[in-house]
Structure 1
Amino acid sequence: MIRALAVVVPARNEEELLADCLDALHRAARHPRVRDLPCRVTVVADACQDATAAIARRHGADLLELTAGNVGAARATGSRHALDTALASRPELTTDGVWLAHTDADSRVPRDWLARHLDHAACGWQAVVGTVRVTDWTGHPDSTAKAFPRHYQHDRRADEHQHIHGANLAVRADAYRAAGGFQPLPVGEDRTLVAALEAAGFRIKRTSRNPVATSARRNPRAHGGFGDFLRDLDALPG
């Protein structure tokens, strides 16, 4: 049974979007099916040169500051801190009772995000791999918004999608540790973790029923990720 929730948010120069991300997480943590569980949010401000750290402090998040400039290292550091903090706060707690949820600083989780995670955990799933959606297409051609549903494979069954996003990913802490955690990769750290979980035989719930709203900005922080997928859509003939 899950007895503690921890959310990890890597952030690099996200002063414009981080507040909305944290507000959404606080709403999710106050959901009626979640609010009785301890839930801590950890922001990892990595190589930031703006007000990201100050915003995290104002919103009551645990703050870690790095200079790595590496999202995999940021997620790993945040996960280690979040898990250690959860275990230290309750001596009777074990790793199989801690749920590590992950999102991005440019993303906003739905209000029932954590509640649905608990539902999946109660059914025996040891990790949840979700999808994303875009609500603001500013800067992209009109054709990109129209092409997105086709190329993002929304026609698949909710439990058959093949997407992996750090913006919508969660894993029980014992499975996270057993799979080796996040690797210090500049991109693809989320896919590498899920592959390790699969190889170790952990039960992974894939669902598109609870998407996270994420940024469609044209200057993505990491190349080879979702931002590049959108830029490829921009280049398609209208």
Structure 2
Amino acid sequence: MPAIICVPARNEEDALPTLIAALCDLAVPPMELDVCIYLDRCNDGSAALLADKAAKLPFRLVVEHGGASVEANAGAARRAAFAMGLGMLGGREGLIFTTDADSAPERDWIAAGQRALAQADVVAGRIMRVDAMRDTEQSRLEHYYDRLHRYRRMIDPVPWEARDTHHFSGGANMAVRASAYRAIGGFRPLASGEDATLLDDAARAGFRVRRDAAMVVETSSRRIGRVAEGLAGTLRALDAGRQVRVANPRGAAWQWQAQATARRSFPAIDQAEVRVALGDLLGLTADHVLGVARDCPNAEAFAMRIVPAPRCHGDTIMLAEAEDLLAAMEGAVEGEWREIAA
């Protein structure tokens, strides 16, 4: 099955040599591999640099220059890069990978993504930051969110999730089956968050979304970024002493437990008592529950669509308090497991 790497880039002349070197070093399984780079209104030397390297690369490199017909935002640029890849595939199935121009995939990136996509339809890999040790608060925040996502899969396990999972949902490290991407409708043209939105859209459509720590990309810890609400802005804010506040994890716990219940209920949703019980939990009528179920292709889509945003614990709290609450929540689940095992 062919694989295509799609990368949006905007004035990344300094970063592109590192990316290209990493792509040249990939240990690629026996498969067709192409690389598409979409230059989003670049006015630096990116085009000349890529033209100079193209003939010496171990893969086919296709470069396209963005114009006024494409919106100037991160989502539109990544969507345009994927359109290049889909055009090369025609109507064929294939595996589409994406990263950022200031990033460098590890050598086994394609192989790890291929293994992950044998279990799922969309995969988000782990993103490692260069010089992460100096950004202690950001590292602490990322560790917290990793724990929170692992807790999610403790209370709402799915068979396609990776054993070594994580919380990241960034476009710097994603892969998707071409058929799933077409069905989802692709990246939305958003100024930021197009990557996380794609994962949400995929789950709501009933596709299997996997977060796999075996698929690794290293990205920069630069403070000057291309997106107003991106990582660079977060790091600058932390440098300036911003206090880290996060959503209360008890709200997420309620939502994930409700999704687990909805997932279990879906196969028996034609039974009135099942619909009533789920509706009582969610504050919905049994008829509404049935209406949503009839519009869903599987239990994943149903669980993602029927459960509303948390109606309790909607406050934000300091990171230290959230860490303590999460530890108590983890301990409670582990205690339940010990009781079952006994």
The TM-score bracket by the shorter chain reads: 0.7 to 0.9
2:12 paired residue number: 14
2:230 paired residue number: 225
Q: Which runs of 4+ in 1 moved over 3 A?
A: 157-160
1:65 paired residue number: 65
**In the alignment, does 2:33 pair up with 1:43?**
no
Q: Is contact 1:10–1:44 with CA below 8 Å preserved after alignment?
A: yes
**In the alignment, does 2:125 pair up with 1:130?**
yes
1:161 paired residue number: 166
User: C-alpha distance in 2, partners of 1:213/1:104?
Assistant: 10
SS in structure 2 of the partner of residue 105 of structure 1: coil
Alignment gaps of 5+ in structure 1: 88-92
Alignment gaps of 5+ in structure 2: 55-60, 151-162, 244-342
Residue type of the partner of 1:191?
A: A
2:83 paired residue number: 80
Deviations 1:209-228 (A, max 9, x none): 33311111111110112222
User: C-alpha distance in 2, partners of 1:121/1:208?
Assistant: 13
Residue type of the partner of 1:53?
A: A
Alignment match of 1:110 (pick from 99, 106, 109): 106
User: C-alpha distance in 2, partners of 1:222/1:111?
Assistant: 27
1:13-32 equivalence runs, <5 A: 13-28=11-26, 31=27
Q: CA deviation at 1:54?
A: 1.7
Equivalent pairs, count? 219
1:179 paired residue number: 184
2:140 paired residue number: 150
Residue type of the partner of 2:203?
A: E
Q: Is contact 1:46–1:66 with CA below 8 Å preserved after alignment?
A: yes
Q: CA deviation at 1:7?
A: 0.5
SS in structure 2 of the partner of residue 94 of structure 1: coil
User: C-alpha distance in 2, partners of 1:203/1:162?
Assistant: 15
Residue type of the partner of 1:42?
A: C
Which stretch of the first structure deviates more once superposed, 98-107 or 52-61? 52-61
Deviations 1:129-159 (A, max 9, x none): 122112246xxxx8x5222321112662465
Q: CA deviation at 1:35?
A: 4.2
Deviations 1:48-100 (A, max 9, x none): 1101112222332210101343221221112112122123xxxxx732xx011
SS in structure 2 of the partner of residue 57 of structure 1: helix
Residue type of the partner of 2:17?
A: A
Please provide the CA RMSD for this pair: 2.1
Deviations 1:15-43 (A, max 9, x none): 00011112111222xx1xx3421111011
Residue type of the partner of 2:235?
A: L
Which stretch of the first structure deviates more once superposed, 219-228 or 173-182? 219-228
Which stretch of the first structure deviates more once superposed, 9-18 or 154-163? 154-163
- Structure 1 residues 178 and 227, CA, compared in 2 at 3 Å: closer, same or farther? same
User: C-alpha distance in 2, partners of 1:237/1:125?
Assistant: 38
**In the alignment, does 2:207 pair up with 1:209?**
no
Q: Is contact 1:56–1:62 with CA below 8 Å preserved after alignment?
A: no
Residue type of the partner of 2:6?
A: V
Identity in percent: 37
Decide which structure has greater helix share: 2
Residue type of the partner of 2:184?
A: A
Which stretch of the first structure deviates more once superposed, 124-133 or 206-215? 206-215
Which stretch of the first structure deviates more once superposed, 222-231 or 158-167? 158-167
1:94 paired residue number: 92
